[in-house]
Structure 1
């Protein structure tokens, strides 16, 4: 199967037993997960989503909504659903992952064995603070507070010119996000959260249980909103423990 513009395999493993589909945060790119390819065992193939507006998709059509973005990913993903898979979304990526699973369900395609919702409270709990209309300085201060990007880079005019329009576009999608209460996921949900994350509480993460007909859980990690960048080995270990394929475990990490 050929690569798509929206989905990339950093390290192709055509004989892998399970596929891990990862979705980045607001303003994020596939680079968030690039190092994971080398940390995962041979049985797991990493597929990373690249939303419009970044890297090779800088000129692609901007989605009208988070559900629209997820629908595009679902269409691209369909040929890859020939074996067990799981979805991992960080922050905004968790909401995109939620809509992706719903879309896959409606299309009658194989659903994932699990959704990993990282650093994201249950869908209706997010409160819009108007980040998409903040001044450049205020938005940069917001991003610096979350972590995940070097604050010194945000002082560079050329960096601001490159990243802020994408981040504003993603925050605008978040501001307009209206999840449908009656639509439940049919797969389990593991909510991963940093204990020092000022954006997401354990209680907010636990309420993912309201959005699935399957079991759910909360797994806590040391660190803040970008806890996964600080301890990728432990994150992957916890993830591997929950994969559906026999023999895939943290012993590989």
Structure 2
């Protein structure tokens, strides 16, 4: 029987009897749709789904969240019907922080995921090297988006579109900027980390810092590309997610 639908999750690769479920958390400003093209790489035994936060796609009318902690309770509820199979949580950039916070909360409830996979993000105990975006005016904030390279130039140049998107983008960046845990405990969950060799936002050395939190094993994979390397490396990422899963059982 298929798990009940949730506004927090979009299922892209339904599988009648999956061996595992891969839950993907998007980066700031993005929706679940960025993972739509990952479905063919998930294989016949992995169910692929993605998190959809308020303020985007079918939830465009809902106010966006400003704190990671505000998303976690609803995510726990959405994931509960899926835990009849091993869960692999994957997140890129802000999504890595959301995946980590969700994994930590699952562990606290005695419901640990099989694997936490983080990508393009410093660990929670490492402060950002860049100033917060909170004080930036809209022009400076748009310039920051342009420098990151994840927003198409034609979108940045469209005032009407940016007016629609800015509240969600600002909320996501506030969520990302504010999350810091100076002394986080280890998780009893394996951690798989992905780093882009040319990523200036989260360097390979910074991403390697997730090892401190890995209480059940740590692996680091470096892949070519800048901060948004996941778009060009999805096949490699999904293959590693499937192969790394240590609890792949029926």
* TM norm structure 1: 0.90
Establish whether residue 82 from structure 1 lines up as the match of residue 81 from structure 2: no
Whether the 8 Å contact between 2:125 and 2:182 is mirrored in structure 1 is no
Unaligned runs of 5+ in 2: none
**Which position in structure 2 is the counterpart of 1:36?**
38
Matched, 1:209 2:197: no
Q: State the Cα RMSD in Å.
A: 1.8
CA drift of 1:229 comes to 0.6
C-alpha contact (below 8 Å) 1:189/1:212 kept by paired residues: yes
C-alpha distance in 1 between matches for 2:248 and 2:105: 27
**Contact conserved, 1:184 with 1:211, CA < 8 A, in 2?**
yes
Q: How does 1:34-113 map to 2 (within 5 A)?
A: 34-63=36-65, 65-109=67-111, 111-113=112-114
1:126 paired to 2:121: no
Give the whole-Å Cα distance in 2 for the aligned partners of 1:3 and 1:95: 24
3-state SS, counterpart of residue 220 of structure 1: strand
Corresponding pairs, count? 246
Aligned counterparts of 1:238 and 1:145: Cα–Cα separation in 2:
29
Correspondence for 1:188: 190
Alignment CA distance shift 1:246-1:26 (3 Å): closer
SS in 1 for 2:221: strand
Residue 63 and residue 180 in structure 1: after superposition, are their counterparts in 2 closer, same or farther (change >3 A)?
farther
- Assess, with a 3 A threshold, how the Cα gap between structure 1 residues 61 and 104 changes in structure 2: closer, same or farther: farther
CA distance in 2, matches of 1:182, 1:122: 10
Report the alpha carbon displacement of residue 145 of structure 1 after superposing the two structures with TM. 2.0
* CA distance 1:27–1:33, shift in 2 (3 Å): same
Question: Following TM superposition, by how much is the alpha carbon of 1:131 offset from its aligned partner in structure 2, in angstroms?
Answer: 1.6
Shift in Å at residue 188 of structure 1?
Answer: 1.0
Q: Distance in 1 between matches of 2:136 and 2:99?
A: 26
Deviation at 1:180, TM superposition (A): 6.3
Name which of structure 1's ranges 146-155 and 178-187 shifts more when overlaid on structure 2.
178-187
Instruction: Confirm or deny: 8 A CA contact 2:100 2:116 kept in the other structure.
Output: yes
- In the TM superposition, residue 141 of structure 1 has moved relative to its aligned partner by 2.0
Separation (CA, whole Å) in 2 of partners of 1:26 and 1:64? 11
Q: Among 220, 227, 230, which residue is 2:229 paired with?
A: 227
Change in CA separation of 1:246 and 1:178 when aligned onto 2, cut-off 3 Å:
closer
Distance, in Å, in 2 between the alignment partners of 1:137 and 1:61 is 22
Question: Normalised by the size of structure 2, how large is the TM-score?
Answer: 0.91
Aligned partners of 1:182, 1:12: CA distance in 2, in Å?
35
Post-superposition CA distance 1:12-54 (Å, at most 9, x none)? 1131110001001111111221100122101010110001111
